């Protein structure tokens, strides 16, 4: 019996430096503001599963906040020609996306009967109204003006979204990077109205095709293209898991925010953010 006690004493001795007096110092909880964070789950019903519903959506919003942080910095880096920095940020975005996708697996443990117990408490609130998701769509180039009306209630938020709506997307700055590299890009694309969703251009298609045909010569642009494909691929997988989770829980009911629910989610699956990068897979 003496040996285990001796080993335990050694371990305790090795950890004598652990801080326990925090009367005047910042703790882990202080740094992360855990008290307000963990106190932000306010259920409107007495149903056990509403806590799951709230936390899943809050966690997703936190991941989206980091996604926006990385995408915004990546757009600036590409615009400045700092490709390696952008690649690191975009790789991180892809990893974040895997976490958000897995969240649907947890939410799918909510059954239709359970959700119906508190769904009416949501009123007209819906994930469709997530402004951070709109900021991600704007950063990727999908611009929809009618969506902005949802946020008129908050002037500061509306101004933030409107600014992002008119700003160049990550694909816009990528097209400019092609032009900087000497490709004959349609000049109108470089000064176009960035509030319009990009629909494709033959000069961009020709430029990306050459990049893929001469990988060694255009290695940075080739890497950029593949990072963009990664992000769109993961986003579409997120959209698909979203659609199937909604169908699994509420079927084809109208969404709480008034959207057509599953039918709307199916429609957005057809949208492509970076059309030429997908088309060249067929034409290359």
- Provide the b/e sequence for 104-138 (b: ≥16 CB within 10 Å): beebeebeeebbeebbeebeeeebbbbbebbbbbb
- Closest CA relative to residue 212, chosen from 224, 202, 203, 200: 224
Does residue 57 have a known ligand-binding role? yes
Does residue 53 have a known ligand-binding role? yes
Distance CA 24, CA 21 (A): 8
69: how many CB neighbours lie within 10 A of its CB?
Answer: 14
Does residue 256 have a known ligand-binding role? yes
Does residue 47 have a known ligand-binding role? no
- Closest CA relative to residue 45, chosen from 110, 126, 114: 114
Distance CA 277, CA 284 (A): 10
Does residue 242 have a known ligand-binding role? yes
Does residue 75 have a known ligand-binding role? no
Do 208 and 224 meet the contact criterion of CB atoms below 8 Å apart?
no
Q: CA-CA distances (angstroms) from residue 95 to 40, 66, 108? A: 26, 11, 21
Residue positions forming the annotated binding site: 53-57, 115, 119, 242, 256
Q: Annotated binding site for heme: which residue ranges?
A: 242
Binding site listing for substrate: 53-57, 115, 119, 256
């Amino acid at each position: 019996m003496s040996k285990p006690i001796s080993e335990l004493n050694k371990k305790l001795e090795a950890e004598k430096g652990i801080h326990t007096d925090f009367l005047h110092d910042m703790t882990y909880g202080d740094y992360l503001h855990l008290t307000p964070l963990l106190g932000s789950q306010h259920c409107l019903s007495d149903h056990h599963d509403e806590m799951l519903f709230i936390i899943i959506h809050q966690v997703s919003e936190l991941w989206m906040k980091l996604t926006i942080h990385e995408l915004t910095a990546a757009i600036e880096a590409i615009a400045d020609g700092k490709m390696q920095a952008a690649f690191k940020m975009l790789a991180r975005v892809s990893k974040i996306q895997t976490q958000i996708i897995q969240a649907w697996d947890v939410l799918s443990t909510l059954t239709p009967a359970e959700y119906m117990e508190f769904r009416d408490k949501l009123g007209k609130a819906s994930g469709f109204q997530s402004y951070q998701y709109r900021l991600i769509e704007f950063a990727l180039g999908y611009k929809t003006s009618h969506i902005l009306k949802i946020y008129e209630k908050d002037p500061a938020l509306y101004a933030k979204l409107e600014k992002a709506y008119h700003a160049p997307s990550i694909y816009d700055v990528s097209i400019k990077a092609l032009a900087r590299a000497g490709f004959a890009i349609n000049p109108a694309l470089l000064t176009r109205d960035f509030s319009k969703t990009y629909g494709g251009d033959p000069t961009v298609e020709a430029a990306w095709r050459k990049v893929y045909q001469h990988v060694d010569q255009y290695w940075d642009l080739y890497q950029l293209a593949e990072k963009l494909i990664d992000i769109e691929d993961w986003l579409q997988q997120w959209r698909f898991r979203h659609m199937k989770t909604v169908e699994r829980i509420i079927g084809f009911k109208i969404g709480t925010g008034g959207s057509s629910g599953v039918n709307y989610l199916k429609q957005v699956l057809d949208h492509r953010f970076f059309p030429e990068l997908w088309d060249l897979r067929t034409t290359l």
